[in-house]
A and B are shown apart, each in its own frame.
Chain A
């Protein structure tokens, strides 16, 4: 079941567009947030009913975008480290290896206590303050090994 809050957000999204289908991205975003970072089939089925779409259409829309995590639960803190060119020039790979070692997981994995998921992403539009990473919705920029250690310590 979608949360009441997610349903309210979908109602609000529907007011932006002349057709219901246009609200699908906002709806999926709200559903993913409500579930703590991923989507399940039940969410997409429910969205399909509200937006008068086929479930497969909702699923196809979700599958197209990389930020929807379909059936892939993530940790409470989803760390996404930029691996694109500007960050790479300033040592992104080094930071990724450092985090893999510190967290004792590989990129793409979640710590056993479900606290942290570590992923890599393409450029996040923060190249002037590279290297950088995103944790949930927040950007962390001008990273160094020491800064990363500090940030990781703060993730409860």
Chain B
């Protein structure tokens, strides 16, 4: 398939402005600056683009909530926190094609009337942050950013804000708190960021990959975009494949590609001769699929129908040597480590789950521990302030539902069934 988001990956010095421009870059923003902002919002709505950060909300609709009053300061924040385990697509884009992200941000800022934009990049991505800083400098030097960019009436400043190790900063309101210099705990919604976001001003928060789709939508039109993928989840999607496959990595394919096609055709199949046991289709918050569900299309609605989710598009593949108790433990330990501490069910509940999972995993589980896990899940689910706590429960329930006998075996025999 024609590559739209990853088109420049692998080209020499793809991160440099001259190379980006030589391959057709920075044309879309120049066309956009000649259009009316609300026409751009309409184009993005018509394209059907849904946010690639996890929730799958209509991007054009989100932009349309921004008040039109030109006297109000507005902000764009690019969510480059990329913390969902298994996910490495935004890093791929920023390291290799930072100007694609910048161009997407320029068009978005113009469409919503934002004169300042921040890129919130996770602290560990030092290389990517340096690449972005260098790309921003190049763009200013060319007059592509700053006052009257591209000789237009529009002015925009883009800044990089570096996180410093906290998964919760990927939650959009925690991200805003973090930029404001506060402890990054999620805010109460409403008010939604579109009305009262960064510094209390109307703010759009979009994922890196979402923004990277924008230049192509302007250039080739919403109809072209909406024909890729499925009707309800149009466009290309970058899948991050890891685990027990021959060729892990980033794959840009139409939305709706099946798990089987992705793993067995594009990724060269399983790493060794061992058969596939489970696949996490959308980052560790997404409940796993089993070998019987490989024909599931990878898109927002098909995965939701299976009780899972597309999330960040991180596809983690496990063969039969993988222990599901260990997987559940590692994933849960991650969530309890990253709980921000704001609400009790998550702050106290996730570490409790981790303690129980740890003892089962280490062959010290007690009879009744599975029921204990289930009742803890019931007490956390739906009662947390933000979706992190629910994510922890959904991931664990996915493991328990499909591999309960492995947990029981660990408890009964004090050892692992898989390895």
Contact = CB atoms under 8 A, between A and B. Distances in A.
B85 A122 contact: yes
B164 to A, nearest CB: 4
A24 to B, nearest CB: 4
A70 to B, nearest CB: 12
A128 B330 contact: no
Contact of A65 (B123, B316, B322, B330): B123
Contacts of B179: 17, 22
Most B-side CB within 10 Å, residue of A16, A24, A89, A124: A89
Nearest to A64: B183
Contacts of B340: 64
A26 B244 CA distance: 38
Contacts of A126: 88, 91
Interface stretch (A78-86, A95-103, A106-114, A146-154): A78-86
Contacts of A66: 164-166
Given A84-B334, A85-B330, A86-B243, A25 B181 contact: yes
Contacts of A138: 126-127
Contacts of A25: 161-164, 178, 181
Contact of A85 (B86, B123, B127, B241): B86
A125 B164 CA distance: 14
Contacts of A26: 161-162
Contacts of A89: 242-244, 316, 318, 322
B181 A21 contact: yes
Contacts of B85: 84-86, 122-123, 127
B337 interface: yes
Most A-side CB within 10 Å, residue of B84, B86, B284, B337: B86
Interface in A1-35: 16-26, 28-29
B163 A65 contact: yes
A130 B242 contact: yes
A3 to B, nearest CB: 19
Contacts of B192: none
Contacts of B284: 84-85
A32 B278 CA distance: 42
A88 interface: yes
Nearest to A15: B159
B254 to A, nearest CB: 20
A127 B88 contact: yes
B243 A134 contact: no
Nearest to B334: A122
Most B-side CB within 10 Å, residue of A65, A68, A83, A121: A65
Contact of B338 (A18, A122, A125, A128): A122
Contacts of A123: 83-87, 334
Interface residues of B, number: 54
B106 interface: no
A125 B244 contact: no
A140 B203 CA distance: 36
A89 B248 CA distance: 13
A42 interface: no
Contacts of B161: 16, 22, 25-26
A61 interface: yes
Nearest to B84: A123
Nearest to A63: B183
Contacts of B241: 128
Contacts of B327: 85
Contact of B164 (A21, A28, A85, A134): A28
A67 to B, nearest CB: 4
Given A84-B330, A85-B86, A89-B244, A68 B199 contact: no
Nearest to A28: B164
Most B-side CB within 10 Å, residue of A20, A29, A67, A126: A67
A29 B164 contact: yes
B146 interface: no
Contacts of A84: 85, 284, 330, 334
B240 interface: yes
A121 B124 CA distance: 11
A86 B180 contact: no
27 contacts: A16-B118, A16-B161, A25-B164, A64-B340, A65-B184, A67-B123, A67-B124, A68-B164, A84-B330, A85-B316, A85-B334, A88-B326, A89-B318, A122-B83, A123-B83, A123-B84, A123-B334, A124-B124, A125-B88, A125-B91, A125-B125, A126-B88, A127-B85, A127-B243, A128-B88, A128-B250, A130-B242
Given A16-B118, A130-B242, 17 more contacts: A17-B159, A21-B180, A21-B181, A25-B162, A25-B164, A65-B163, A65-B165, A65-B166, A68-B165, A83-B330, A85-B85, A88-B330, A89-B243, A89-B244, A122-B338, A125-B124, A127-B87
Interface of A: 16-26, 28-29, 51, 53, 60-61, 64-68, 83-86, 88-90, 121-130, 134, 137-139
Nearest 7 A/B pairs, CB to CB: A21-B181, A67-B165, A66-B165, A123-B85, A127-B242, A86-B242, A65-B164
